[in-house]
Structure 1
Amino acid sequence: MNLIIDQGNTTIKLAVFNAFALETLITYDTWNEPVIEDFLSGYDIEACIYSSVARKCDEHVDFFRNRIPMFHLFSSDSRLPIRIGYRTPNTLGLDRIAGVVGAYYEKPGVPILVIDAGTAITYDLLLADGLFVGGNIASGIQMRFKALHTFTGRLPLVSFEGDIPFLGDDTFAAIRAGVIRGACYEVEGYIRDLTHKYPGLLIFLTGGDAFLFAERLKTPIFVDKNIVIKGLNRILYYNVEK
């Protein structure tokens, strides 16, 4: 069995795969070594890949490296099943690469746009021949709510809960509608323009806010909240001897 660790900005995900079938996925808000140790004791893990967008993870890496026979730390030097056309590959987010790889194996041979709606919203384009050409990064929903509150004198901190009218008739509704509808218009704009440039483009939507967007978008999309995890599992096979 394979263990996939995806260390994000706010959570850490642990997934267990039996070959390419996802067996278990658990998310932790904070690092808890005894709890994770107990989780690992229930599986016969042969190989592991660790991916992190966090700045400091040495302690976590050592924890897994010392417990799993075949361990791979995902980096810009890792072998990949796709080609990277990004001008600065060493600065390219590992989660962005993994998401594109996951989508590539789901629908090979077609152009793909992966939209990851999490702390940030990323837009990443993979061409039909397997070339990752790049993408864009924008603020996520929660970040937009917090920015309006933090960088103004009187605007309140607003949450997802509540009405989302076309035009708000009070300040809370105005902020909620402005942020969520604005982000949806942004996503639809990328989809429209890239579909025009790349006919047959398939859209994969993932991330913590994926379903919030999915229920509001008019374009046909594939929603897969595990596409990054699936991509990491595929990358693992490229980098360890099984």
Structure 2
Amino acid sequence: MNLIIDIGNTVAKLAVFDGDEQVEILRGSNHSLDCIKILCHKYPIDRCIIASVITLSNTIKKQLANVSFPVLTLDYKTPIPITNKYKTPETLGMDRLAAVVGANYLMPDRNLLVIDAGTALTYEFIDANATYWGGNISPGIYTRFKSLSACCDKLPLIEKGGEVPELGFNTETAIRAGVIKGIEFEIIGYITQLQKKYPDLLVFLTGGDKFSFDTKLKSIIFADRFLVLKGLNRILNYNVK
């Protein structure tokens, strides 16, 4: 069995895979992998891969040093089952890379746009020949809410949940509609622009945030919350073979 560890800007996700099947997933602090003991006692783990967008804490380093199975730390030198055309691979977030690997594994031989909606909102393109060409990064939904409050003295910090009218009728709904609809329009813009060059484009949407879309686009969008974890599992198995 494989232990998959994805450490993000906000939380850490630990998942156990039996082949391609995700058996269990736990979430916790991105500074300490306390739940690793639970999974190691519960399952016969054979190997592990870890990807992190932050510097690993000393606590995590010690925890990984004490496990009884080999741990692969994903970096830009790790062999992967796709061609990476990113010009500075050493600066590429490993979560971004894992997401495109996962999408390509699930939908091979297709032109794919991978959208990860988390702390940051990322867009990645991988073509039908399994060549990753790069992508873009913009602020995620909560990052946008926080930045408006931090940079604009009289704007409050609001929550995502609530009314989202076409046009805000007070400051709270104006911010919520502006942020959420702005992201929806941004995503639709990326999709329609790429469709001009790749009419058969398929879209994977992953991450913690959900959005509604024009009905014309729903048929080509696949939501998969665990795309990064599946990509990491694919990379680990690729390196074992």
Where on the TM-score scale, by shorter chain, does this alignment land: which range?
over 0.9
Shift of 1:33: 5.1
Contact 2:112/2:204, CA 8 A, preserved across alignment = yes
> Residue 3 of structure 1 aligns with which residue?
3
- Cα distance change of structure 1 residues 217 and 51 upon mapping to structure 2, 3 Å threshold: farther
> Residue 12 of structure 1 aligns with which residue?
12
- Cα distance change of structure 1 residues 217 and 12 upon mapping to structure 2, 3 Å threshold: farther
Q: Deviations over 1:10-60 (max 9, x none)?
A: 000000000111100111145455543233211110010011001234541
1:179 is paired with a residue whose SS is: helix
> Residue 193 of structure 1 aligns with which residue?
193
Q: Deviations over 1:110-161 (max 9, x none)?
A: 1100000000000000011011001000000000000000001100101112
Q: Distance in 2 between matches of 1:97 and 1:198?
A: 21
- Cα distance change of structure 1 residues 236 and 61 upon mapping to structure 2, 3 Å threshold: farther
How many residue pairs get aligned? The number is 238
1:193 is paired with a residue whose SS is: helix
* Structure 1: runs of 5+ lacking an equivalent: none
2:42 is paired with a residue whose SS is: coil
> Residue 101 of structure 1 aligns with which residue?
101
Supply the RMSD in Å over aligned alpha carbons.
Answer: 1.4
1:41 is paired with a residue whose SS is: helix
> Residue 144 of structure 1 aligns with which residue?
144
Structure 1 stretch displaced more, 60-69 or 232-241: 60-69
Contact 2:48/2:70, CA 8 A, preserved across alignment = yes
Q: Deviations over 1:203-225 (max 9, x none)?
A: 0000010xx21x34431200000
**Taking structure 2 as the reference length, what is the TM-score of the superposition?**
0.94
> Residue 24 of structure 1 aligns with which residue?
24
Aligned-residue sequence identity (percent) comes to 45
Contact 1:50/1:61, CA 8 A, preserved across alignment = no
* Structure 2: runs of 5+ lacking an equivalent: none
Q: Distance in 1 between matches of 2:204 and 2:115?
A: 6
1:23 is paired with a residue whose SS is: strand
Contact 1:111/1:126, CA 8 A, preserved across alignment = yes
